[in-house]
Structure 1
Amino acid sequence: MADDHLNPCASDICRGVLRLFADLNFAGVTEMTLANGRRADIAAVGPKGEITIVEVKSSVADFRSDGKWPDYRPFCDRFYFAVSHGFPKELIPDETGLIVADGFGGAVLRNPDITPLAAARRKAMTLRFARLAASRLTLGVEPVVTDPLALS
């Protein structure tokens, strides 16, 4: 257990990526379902409306057992893998971006190839992102009413 900080879990990597994105003026959400049914670990919108998707890999076994990452590419301008500091970076495909992160922050080691989205896909992704973020915000601040008469 003393070496847990050397191998952060997926939630720590997500937290670090979201902190990195905030520093870069990107707004991010976790676990966003795409139109093809896949669920992006992190989706983010940049200041110019660019869409970024990040697939988090907490171990080599996790990376090797998951071949679905190409299914995310049609839904973003940029695609990154995010891994921990000890992850063997040579496993990450060259055409994808690479972020190294832990629970405190992250760093972009390699930017990905950019594939601009078509306008209709960008609009759909932005709307999906906005609705997800707003619904999560509402769930976090709206009171849960168990007695409907309490509203009158």
Structure 2
Amino acid sequence: MHADASPLQPGQLLARGASRLLSSYGFVSVDEVIPARGLRVDVMGLGPKGEIWVIECKSSRADFQSDHKWDGYLPWCDRFFWAVDEHFPTELLPDDTGLIIADPYGGEIIRMGPEAKLAAARRKVMIQKVATTAARRLQGLRDPEMALDVG
């Protein structure tokens, strides 16, 4: 259940479908991970061999056209994907990025994002960020008062 029980927004529904897709590939995922100051990726996936995939969810043409930070995510992942619904004008998306068509219940990789392997030190930092983000959120569910103290 969503933390505040409010309905999920279109981008959050795409993120849910993309996360389910990642799970089918053996990945775990965390929404809204901050790889560096000023950046917040929609979904970060951690693969069974330590791969880091970033998925940016775009619910409309305007949503995509207002995103001026997406290429700043490339140095923080091995592969980058867009997740959009079946009605999104995919011709807007750069050809040299991955493409996932998703809905709230799953998705399909239409175009695999090109691989740009992270350096070992950066991979370690990103794995720690995924783990720390996930653990803090889990702790916040278990002990909401504690979550206020850890940020």
TM over 0.5: yes
Alpha carbons of 1:138 and 1:106: their partners in 2 closer, same or farther (altered >3 Å)?
same
Measure, in 2, the Cα distance between the counterparts of 1:95 and 1:36. 25
TM-score, L = length of structure 1? 0.86
Give the CA RMSD over aligned residues.
Answer: 1.4
Measure, in 2, the Cα distance between the counterparts of 1:94 and 1:76. 17
Alignment of 1:15-30 (within 5 A): 15-30=16-31
Say whether 1:80 aligns with 2:81: yes
**Displacement of 1:140 after TM fit?**
1.3
| One-letter amino acid matched to 1:40 | V
Alignment of 1:3-42 (within 5 A): 9-42=10-43
Corresponding residue number in structure 1 for 2:64: 63
Q: Describe the superposition over 1:72-125 as per-residue Cα deviations: whole angstroms up to 9, x where unpaired.
A: 000000000100110011111111000011111111000011000001100000
Q: Describe the superposition over 1:40-98 as per-residue Cα deviations: whole angstroms up to 9, x where unpaired.
A: 00101000000001111000011111121110000000000100110011111111000
Alignment of 1:2-151 (within 5 A): 9-142=10-143, 144=145
Q: Secondary structure at the match of 2:33?
A: strand
Q: Which has the larger radius of gyration?
A: 1
| One-letter amino acid matched to 2:35 | L
- Percent identical among aligned pairs is 47
**Displacement of 1:141 after TM fit?**
1.9
TM-score, L = length of structure 2? 0.87
Select between 36-45 and 134-143 the one with higher mean Cα deviation.
134-143
Measure, in 2, the Cα distance between the counterparts of 1:106 and 1:44. 14
The alignment covers a number of residue pairs equal to 138
Corresponding residue number in structure 2 for 1:149: none
What are structure 2's unaligned runs of at least 5 residues?
Answer: 1-8, 147-151
Measure, in 2, the Cα distance between the counterparts of 1:15 and 1:124. 24
Measure, in 2, the Cα distance between the counterparts of 1:69 and 1:143. 32
| One-letter amino acid matched to 1:17 | A
Q: Secondary structure at the match of 1:122?
A: helix
What are structure 1's unaligned runs of at least 5 residues?
Answer: 1-7, 146-152
